[in-house]
Amino acid sequence: MIKIAPSILSADFCNLEREIRRVDSADWLHVDVMDGMFVPNISIGVPVVSSIRRHTEMFLDVHLMVEKPGRYVDAFADAGADLLSVHLEADMPSRIREALRRMEERGVKRGIVLRPITSAEAVLPYLELGVELVLVMTVEPGFGGQKFMADQLPKLEAIRRYIDRYQPDCNLEVDGGIDPDTARQAVSAGANVLVAGSSVYGAPDPAAAIAALRG
């Protein structure tokens, strides 16, 4: 089953409760956390995630685009994140593993993220740890509204093969430039979770846009 995860990065932050209700037909809610260091943009942090948690029962898929993400695992777990995804490029491998271990202790599902420059093979040690999600970025992380990078499709296909072989329960998520056309390409390449921002929140009817992404 394909899961749709609208990204609130494209929402109207002045009316966030309303914006969450507009996408409540989706499966997950994707929350992009940016620190201005790992990526040039700054978005939201722990207090906003905590507020979101109080106003929705949707599955909160929190994507940490931050340096040394292990520092924030406990805070976002306390705030109500259901899943935390950390970039493999954001710290040393030993510290990424420690962050994942801490997520498991806190009962938070564990995700890893790959920037476009990172190879598919980088996921292998983490699949052996049993992570629940691999997120492949099909844009450079940091800003919404970018164009889908089709050259990442072979990476998706390779990671799907690794998942099927080593960790079949792992979700394969794709984020960046997702619309009905690129969604079909990503699903064909093996993705089963689609993050979409502007194509959902920029649509006159977000529920219809979500349905269109499901195919």
Task: Select from 160, 137, 116, 3 the least CA-distant residue to 63.
Answer: 137
Helix (H) or strand (E) holding 112: strand 109-114
Q: Quick one: angle between helices 180-188 and 206-214, nearest 10?
A: 30
Catalytically annotated residue among 35, 61, 91, 175 = 175
- Answer whether 131's CB lies under 8 Å from 105's CB: no
164 is catalytic: no
- Answer whether 60's CB lies under 8 Å from 29's CB: yes
Catalytically annotated residue among 27, 32, 35, 91 = 32
175 is catalytic: yes
Q: Alpha-carbon distance 130 to 110, whole Å?
A: 9
Which residues are identified as catalytic? 32, 175
